[in-house]
A and B are shown apart, each in its own frame.
Chain A
């Protein structure tokens, strides 16, 4: 164990923790929003993310990238990357809505209990993973380097690179947009109402089915954008990429208090930082052990999460 690295590399670890945390946050929001309206952990959400990474890859293939090109200029990069992001968001968003119709809606209409929905969620997750295992030959797929990753400037020990900036700016912009949607639009109000008291929401004229479909759409779109950021940052994917990322995002959501939007954001950044610093101290191989340990400890000792006591007020 080497603690001195925490001091010497503090800025660098902090920056990476925030970048990874931003990606987790976009996925964690999907878990937490769906939990809010359905009281259900959508365990197939990680596969919606995985599907997004392959959508990103598909766009670069269609554009003719082989992975051996020189990085492109910033203008062309932005156009290309926005295209990739939009395609991934559309793919993941529509997949999430389809998932809701196929795996959950019929059970809900029949008044099935939550355990049935949970089993359906896990079934949908297995189906998507195995489908993509077949479609992608179980291979690792590399994402072409679109952007020069040399350092733009340094802050203490942190090398600030363009891809990290893109992820941070994009993720914070999206979180702001989500906040405006939830607080400021009619359907956003509907999401809050259904999350807080579904029966009364119906009495006030909220169409619960529509709100649930919209919630899955938002969650899917956020996961799709997260997948584009993930590909830009990590530059590789595989059929099972959703598993560990999904567990991390789920842990972040639980850490912050599931169902609580601000909690999901706080939990994500906290987990991103914890992972970076613990990897530096214990070694990278311990990263997922630490994640699972946090998940188990939170569920054992504080199942309502960090913001549990405030959950009634702050929920959505």
Chain B
């Protein structure tokens, strides 16, 4: 098991945003976490990355408890996140943003050219925009940059927070096909989404999160055909 989350609780002050959830990601999988706004999806990813501290529970990565590892050192363990809202450094060029994905890696100079090639094959648009400032990119381009930057750190687990948010339908299709492409390159993915239809058809397994609790789990395809889920998340029920 690559990632194992057990009985995790996270609170903002007195408000409990995650009320004891357990989930796991196996090597090579795309696992998605689907839920409405405020269900606790972003909170979970922030906690795995160490931005938030849980009040209880365990987070194991490759069999090792990572909670004692400082947030900024977790990227070296092999977990990297493309955060909600994309988190592009607006005053850095596309290339500089990508290089930031290498910040933690001691041997970054030797890896840089090879990894840039890899990212530019995945996202040819980024190569065209290489010397443009991150803040001037379109939403879809920023999302590509955010994912590409996370991949620069050579993660074994990629955390994606709502990659489809605010994108045009054409870009959404493209982003999800790239996510599958990344999977074939051997990177496991934990994908958080409101766009349930896309996320469920893309994922091997899925969890449904409602107000801090996991209410259902199963294979992505099965949940896609589940009547209750159709009704609540896909807008095609009844």
Q: Mark B84-95, 1 if CB is under 8 A from A, else 0.
A: 000111111000
Contacts of B81 in A (CB 8 A): 203
- Per CB-CB distance, the 7 closest pairs between chain A and chain B, nearest first, are A205-B104, A200-B87, A205-B75, A196-B89, A204-B100, A312-B90, A315-B91
6 A-B interface contacts by CB (under 8 A): A192-B89, A196-B89, A202-B51, A205-B76, A206-B103, A313-B135
Q: Mark A178-196, 1 if CB is under 8 A from B, else 0.
A: 0000000010011011011
Contact A312 B49 (CB under 8 A): no
Which residues of chain A from 9 to 52 have a CB within 8 Å of any chain B CB? Answer: none
A-B contact count (CB 8 A): 77
Chain A: CB-nearest residue to B49: A203
Contacts of B99 in A (CB 8 A): 189
Contacts of A190 in B (CB 8 A): 103
Chain B: CB-nearest residue to A194: B89
Contact B75 A203 (CB under 8 A): yes
Contact B133 A313 (CB under 8 A): yes
The reply to whether the CB of B28 lies closer than 8 angstroms to some CB of chain A is no
Which residues of chain B from 66 to 94 have a CB within 8 Å of any chain A CB? Answer: 70-73, 75-76, 80-81, 83, 87-92
Chain A: CB-nearest residue to B70: A207
The reply to whether the CB of A106 lies closer than 8 angstroms to some CB of chain B is no
Contact A203 B83 (CB under 8 A): yes
The answer, among A196, A202, A206, A207, for a CB contact under 8 Å with B90, is: A196
The reply to whether the CB of B9 lies closer than 8 angstroms to some CB of chain A is no
Contact A197 B87 (CB under 8 A): yes
Nearest-Cβ distance from residue B129 to partner chain A, whole angstroms: 15
The reply to whether the CB of A314 lies closer than 8 angstroms to some CB of chain B is yes
Nearest-Cβ distance from residue A267 to partner chain B, whole angstroms: 18
Contacts of B51 in A (CB 8 A): 199, 202-203
Contact A207 B72 (CB under 8 A): yes
Interface residues of A (CB under 8 A from B): 186, 189-190, 192-193, 195-197, 199-208, 312-316
Chain B: CB-nearest residue to A196: B89
Which residues of chain B from 179 to 200 have a CB within 8 Å of any chain A CB? Answer: none
Nearest-Cβ distance from residue B209 to partner chain A, whole angstroms: 21
User: A195 CA to B92 CA in the complex, in Å?
Assistant: 11
Contacts of B149 in A (CB 8 A): 204
Contact B135 A204 (CB under 8 A): no
Nearest-Cβ distance from residue B97 to partner chain A, whole angstroms: 9
Task: Contacts A205-B76, A313-B90 known; list 19 others, CB within 8 Å.
Answer: A192-B89, A192-B91, A193-B92, A193-B103, A195-B91, A196-B92, A197-B89, A200-B89, A201-B100, A202-B71, A203-B71, A204-B149, A205-B73, A205-B75, A205-B153, A206-B72, A312-B135, A313-B91, A315-B90
Chain B: CB-nearest residue to A199: B51
Contact A189 B72 (CB under 8 A): no
Contact A312 B91 (CB under 8 A): yes
User: A207 CA to B49 CA in the complex, in Å?
Assistant: 14
User: A148 CA to B6 CA in the complex, in Å?
Assistant: 75
Contact A189 B100 (CB under 8 A): yes
Nearest-Cβ distance from residue A57 to partner chain B, whole angstroms: 40
Contact A199 B89 (CB under 8 A): no
The reply to whether the CB of B220 lies closer than 8 angstroms to some CB of chain A is no
The reply to whether the CB of B54 lies closer than 8 angstroms to some CB of chain A is no
Nearest-Cβ distance from residue B155 to partner chain A, whole angstroms: 11
Which residues of chain B from 132 to 168 have a CB within 8 Å of any chain A CB? Answer: 133, 135-136, 149-150, 153
User: A71 CA to B88 CA in the complex, in Å?
Assistant: 55
Given contacts A313-B133, A313-B135, contact A204 B101 (CB under 8 A): yes
The answer, among A192, A199, A208, for a CB contact under 8 Å with B92, is: A192
Chain A: CB-nearest residue to B135: A312
Contact B91 A200 (CB under 8 A): no
User: A190 CA to B92 CA in the complex, in Å?
Assistant: 12
The answer, among B70, B75, B90, B133, for a CB contact under 8 Å with A204, is: B75
Contact B87 A203 (CB under 8 A): yes
Contact A204 B153 (CB under 8 A): yes
Contacts of B153 in A (CB 8 A): 204-205
Contacts of B133 in A (CB 8 A): 313
Chain B: CB-nearest residue to A207: B72
User: A312 CA to B135 CA in the complex, in Å?
Assistant: 8
User: A192 CA to B91 CA in the complex, in Å?
Assistant: 8
Contacts of A313 in B (CB 8 A): 90-91, 133, 135-136
Nearest-Cβ distance from residue B169 to partner chain A, whole angstroms: 27
Nearest-Cβ distance from residue A75 to partner chain B, whole angstroms: 41
Q: Mark B24-62, 1 if CB is under 8 A from A, else 0.
A: 000000000000000000000000011100000000000
Chain B: CB-nearest residue to A205: B104
Nearest-Cβ distance from residue A124 to partner chain B, whole angstroms: 27
Chain A: CB-nearest residue to B99: A189
Nearest-Cβ distance from residue A213 to partner chain B, whole angstroms: 14
Contacts of B100 in A (CB 8 A): 189, 193, 201, 204
Contacts of A205 in B (CB 8 A): 72-73, 75-76, 103-105, 153
